[in-house]
Every structure is written in C-alpha cells, then in structure tokens.
Amino acid sequence: MALTVDEFLERIGSFKQFQWILLGIFGYVMIIGVTFPTMIVTFLTTEPDWTCVKNSSICNFTEPIGLTSDDYEARCDMPREAWKYVDGFTSTVTEFDLVCDRSYLLVVAQSCSWGGMLISLFLGGYLGDKLGRKIIYYFPLVGVVLATWLIVFPKYFPVFIAGRTFIGMCAGVLDISSFVTLTEFTNARHRAKIGVYSFNFWVAGYVILALMGYLLPYWRSLLLASAIIGTPTLGVWWFIPESVRWLLLKNKHEQAMKQLAKVAKVNKKEMPNQEVIKPEVAEEGSFRHLFINWETTKKTLINWDVWMGASLVYYGVSYGSVDLGWNPYLTFALTGAIELPAYFATVWVSERYRL
C-alpha cells in the first residue's frame, strides 16, 4: 500500500539527525539572511547625542544633548559648524547629517527595507510554488549577501537606500521560504516544533548583533562584519534539499524518492518498500483565494489586522530599545532574548492541543 509523505517520513525519521542538521543550516541562514538585515538598521540609523563645538560663540550648551532633551532641536537654528556629534560612534545619521530639515531621510533609511519586503511577500509564495522551494530560498540569500557588500563602501546615500530596499525584498522571500521548507521535511507530529525552533535562531541573531554593535561602533565596520560573516552561506546550495511534496506535485517522482533516500540514510533508517502518494491539490492557490468567500475574507482581514498591530508594537519596541536611556546594546539584546520563553511555550501548547 502506498504511503503519504507524512507516513513515509514517519518510517524514515520525522525528527532525527536529518531534521536537526537541516534546522542548524537554516538557522544559520536565518541569522545572516533575516535577523541581521532586518534588525541591523537599529544601529545603522541610531542618532547619537550632539554637543557644542569647543569655544563656540553661538552654541553654549555644556552637556551633550540627546533625543529626550528639551533642547534637542536647538541645533537646527545654529550654523552646522557650531555643533558636532559626540565622539566614538557613527551611523548613517552622522555621516549624512539626517537631522533637522533632513530628518525625513532618516525615516526613509529606516523603512525602505520594509517597502521592499512588502513587494516580495506578494511574490515569494507564488514563485516558490512555480519554481521550487530550493531556488526561491537560495537566490534571495545570495541577494542579501551581495547587496550588503554593495552598500558597505559607497558614500552615496541613494546607494544605501537602493541596497536596503533590495535587501528587504530578498529577506522577505527568504524568511517565508525557510519556514515552509523546514516544516515540509517532517510530519504533523513535529511540524510545530521544528517551525518554532527555527525562531530561536532569530533570537540568537539579536544577541550576536548586539555584541557586534558594541564591539564595532562605526556603522560601516558593523556592516562589513555582517557581510563577511554572511559570505560562507553562499555555499549552502549543496546542502539545501528540494521539497519532496513540490517534486511530487511536479511529477518528479524519481527525484522525490532520491530525496527521501537521503533523509533515510542520514537518519540511519531503512527505506520502505511502498511507494509515496502524490499529494492531492484541488486547485493551485493564488492571492484571490484569500477573498474567495465572505468567511475566508473575514479571516484574512482579521489576520492582517492582528499582524499589523503586532508588527507595529514589536518592531517599534525593538528599534526604539536603543533610545531608552540605558545601555543600548544590552536593552536590544534583552528585547530579543525575552522571546525565548514564548517560543518554548508555543511549542508546548501546539503539541498539547495540536493547533
């Protein structure tokens, strides 16, 4: 009797060595290709305190002025040569003077990657179904790494904006394809576990990025370090498996069986004698299915509302953590680390109630 993909994976190991290795590879890529590109902007666009130039006849403040000071905008009425940023830290704000009448460019610098991500999220799922999970996972990763290298050196603000927008597009596709590919290599019994465990690497990226920001207070050095650390991920193509379900749906049965054989070999299991059943799909999904009837439309709109509200709070707190007045690197790391208990609780609840 033929087996479903889930039943086949149960026989050859649905959460053993192969899945743990895959989780480690995808976790490393998540740190490099998703966490770093998404959250590094916190330090790239941080605005340091400013202070008066020594012996200035126009600027008379004796203490550094920060974001929360009542005199924060006083410099906007002074000649540029009358004040300076505090020493020991640089960002795009200090290099391109994104303050006063140029402060709107700071908003652009902070949000351009999200604009790119918005575009890519509409296309990522569709392209993954058409071209396969592997290619839609790998090439956005290449785009993130190369674009990061691109914006390290040029001292031209539009290059930074274009690069960050492109990075956002690639990181969005990479994020969604990563979760889908991981969960397709286990069965329903472990799907919540492997999916949520991958988010722990998001937290690890937070902590690593905070440490890097502390050690590398100059923004181009921080960006260069992230590009160097990310470059080895370009070799993961040979370690990324193609989705068995996608191969079967595309009538590539032989390739699907070879992929399952690799899983069995790594997990040290015998391949079953049965064939694997092609998954049943009534109709290929598309964006219009989100609004195919009133019930589905209602769920879609509620889901969007919840995600928008959660995202505004989550990223507002995360990006703003460095401006709380405490150690910015420690507060940033804690903002990410606090998620760990929630992830383990999510796994327990999902497995307990099979959500």
CB atoms within 10 A of CB 196: 20
- Tokens representing 32 are 């490099």
pLDDT in the model for residue 123: 82
State whether the Cα torsion 349-351-354-355 is positive or negative: positive
DSSP 276: B
CA gap 7, 18 in Å, rounded = 16
State whether the Cα torsion 83-87-156-143 is positive or negative: negative
CA gap 283, 293 in Å, rounded = 16
Q: What is the pLDDT along the chain (355 residues), one digit of tens a residue?
A: 788 899 899 999 989 999 999 999 999 999 999 999 999 999 999 888 899 998 888 998 888 988 888 889 999 999 989 999 988 889 999 999 999 999 899 889 988 999 999 888 888 888 888 888 999 999 999 999 999 999 999 989 999 999 999 999 999 999 888 888 899 999 888 888 898 899 999 999 999 999 999 999 999 999 999 999 999 999 999 999 999 999 999 999 999 999 999 999 999 999 998 888 888 765 666 777 788 889 999 999 999 999 999 988 999 888 888 877 788 899 999 999 999 998 888 888 887 776 5
CB atoms within 10 A of CB 269: 16
CA gap 166, 315 in Å, rounded = 20
CA gap 26, 240 in Å, rounded = 9
- Tokens representing 37 are 């590109």
Q: Is 85 helix (H, G, I), strand (E, B) or coil?
A: strand
Of the candidates 323, 311, 338, 327, the one whose C-alpha atom is nearest the C-alpha of residue 42 is 323
Burial class (CB in 10 A: 0-12, 13-18, 19+), 272: middle
Q: What's the predicted TM-score (pTM) here?
A: 0.89
What is the residue whose two structure tokens read 């722990």?
Answer: 200
Task: Give the residues across from 3 on adjacent strands.
Answer: 276
Task: Give the residues across from 276 on adjacent strands.
Answer: 3
CB atoms within 10 A of CB 79: 11
pLDDT in the model for residue 30: 94
pLDDT in the model for residue 325: 72
CA gap 165, 274 in Å, rounded = 48
- Tokens representing 6 are 């889930």
- Tokens representing 342 are 């929630």
> Alpha-carbon dihedral of residues 148, 150, 156, 159, nearest 10 degrees?
-80
Q: How many residues would you count in the chain?
A: 355
Residue 84 amino acid letter: K
CA gap 127, 349 in Å, rounded = 32
pLDDT in the model for residue 12: 93
Which residue ranges form the domains of the chain, and what is each CATH number? Answer: 5-48+89-280+324-353 (1.20.1250.20)
Of the candidates 164, 156, 125, the one whose C-alpha atom is nearest the C-alpha of residue 36 is 164
CA gap 248, 275 in Å, rounded = 12
DSSP string, 138-189: HHHHHHHHHHHHHTTS---HHHHHHHHHHHHHHHHHHHHHHHHHHHTTS-TT
